[in-house]
Chain A
Amino acid sequence: MFTRHERLKSAYDVVIIGAGGHGLAAAYYLARDHGMTDVAVLDQSYIGGGNTGRNTTIIRSNYLTPDGVKFYDESVRLWRDLSQDFDLNLFYSTRGHFTLAHTDSAMRTMRWRAEVNKHFGVQSEAVDAKTVAEAIPMMDLSCGGHGPPVLGALYHAPGAIARHDAVAWGYGRGADRRGVEIHQETQLLGVELEDHGSGPAVVGVRTNRGRIATRKLLCAVAGSTPGVLAMVGLRSPIHIHPLQAMVSEPLKPWLDPIIVSGSLHIYVSQSARGELVMGASLDPYELHSTRSTLDFAESLSAHLLELFPFLSDVRIVRQWAGMADMTPDFAPIMGKTPVQGFYLDSGWGTWGFKATPVCGKTMSYTVANDQDHPLIRGFAFDRFAHYALTGEKGAASVGH
């Protein structure tokens, strides 16, 4: 599916670190939309083996801030014809997305999100418990009496899921065919900077397979971002916590929409194969590891059974984790940085899969023009220095 390149060249116009969905999408649009094909994508491991291949693939645009809603809405628009673009089946499946509210204050946040969404033309609706019961008859709205009952939900019709690996493969193959070089098992070890009076600028990178000269370096390494930032002498608010997920054995199709409950800290959807794909909130402390835990599987199962008690006999077949690059405001950190030629696509935490297409679009523009794309201005590296945060926590803390 991909060309294997025996050797790295000594120089490229652009070097991209990270062959996850984000890095490969940026390479694809650099080649397709900006005519830049002298591009190398490096990955220390294999294509899509990071968070791209570990995520639970929820795609939605029902965010809270105007910056977020506009950005994710553009992504959903791009997703819809990506299978055509790639000539590859991404199993993109529009399911509808319910974020359950168990308290009055949660209902208030749902109304708020619905209003912001509608203002920007995104289909979202605050609905009552009766509507939820009609849409998902198997759900126990009383939560077995163990916690606050379901009072209503935010319903977001465009909510979707897709095949994560195929997204990386589709972007990778498209970039490869247009002349981009993808080098797997190639690790970034250091970044060479020069300062001629106007601040540090990228002039090259060191890898386990040799040195490369380049003046444009895009960093799209999710949970490994702090290490790369240290190589260019930048500090950021990004902190790393594992996010875990698990799947059940395949069941007959019974769950069409995607369900999220912030109060129960769970979310669930049913894949095309019939597996229940389930997740929860972030692990509670910093860890640079993809280990998973029994605590996670137990607590997620217990909460899931409060909504769907009939699942008590269903087996769990796999669990895993990814390293989430979290930010204080639950918005990403994207675009140019204080280091000339060093571009960042990071802070994607638990919510970046859905943004893969729009990140590729906006980062390729930013790299090609050395200018932040208008859609990412709310996500700038220096927003913290100005105390101008883009608060998405209300839309991103459990429902990824």
Chain B
Amino acid sequence: MKILTCPINGPRPITEFAYGGELREMPDPARATDAEWTDYVFNRNSVPSTKCEWWCHTSSGVWFIAVRDTASDVTLRTFLYARSAGGAP
């Protein structure tokens, strides 16, 4: 069984978590061009790499960030999202 570490609840089986996709900056809808907005809505960076991702511990409803290598499936760190730090972790 694969284990992921929730920053609040500690190590838990992966089945207790939901994947929320890569952390991405939303362009300002009022200023973005159609092409920028379309790119944000549909396109993804799907080349194997180490990414910051949203995950949710579903049993407790905690959303957090995991830094994970999408080729090896090794999670390097998990932490709570800090909006005050300018968004980017």
A and B associate = yes
Q: Residues on A close to B: CB < 8 A? A: 226-227, 230, 235-240, 284-289, 291, 293-295, 328, 384-385, 387
Question: Total A-B residue pairs with C-beta atoms closer than 8 Å?
Answer: 55
Question: When the two chains form their complex, are residues B70 and A286 in contact, meaning their CB atoms are under 8 A apart?
Answer: yes
What is the size category of the interface that chain B forms with chain A? 20 to 34
Cβ of B40 to closest chain A Cβ, rounded Å: 11
CA distance A291 to B74 in the complex (A): 13
Contacts of B30 in A (CB 8 A): none
| Contact in complex: B46, A226 (CB < 8 Å) | yes
Decide yes or no: A240 and B42 within 8 Å by CB, A286-B70, A287-B73 being known contacts: no
B18, B71, B73: the one within 8 Å of A284 (CB): B18
Contact at A293–B2, with CB atoms within 8 Å?
Answer: yes
Could you say which residues of chain B place their CB within 8 Å of the CB of A285?
Answer: 19
A287's contact among B22, B41, B44, B70, by CB below 8 Å, is which? B70
User: Are B70 and A237 in contact, CB atoms less than 8 angstroms apart?
Assistant: no
Residues of B within 8 Å of A287, CB to CB, are: 70, 73
The reply to whether B42 and A384 contact each other, CB–CB distance below 8 Å, is yes
Residues in A whose Cβ lies below 8 Å from that of B18: 284
Given known A295-B15, A385-B38, contact A288–B48 (CB-CB < 8 A): yes
The answer to whether B47 and A227 touch across the interface, beta carbons within 8 angstroms, is yes
Q: List 23 A-B contacts (CB under 8 A).
A: A226-B45, A227-B47, A227-B48, A230-B47, A235-B39, A235-B44, A235-B45, A236-B44, A236-B46, A237-B42, A240-B70, A284-B18, A285-B19, A286-B19, A286-B22, A286-B70, A288-B71, A289-B72, A293-B2, A294-B1, A295-B1, A295-B14, A295-B15
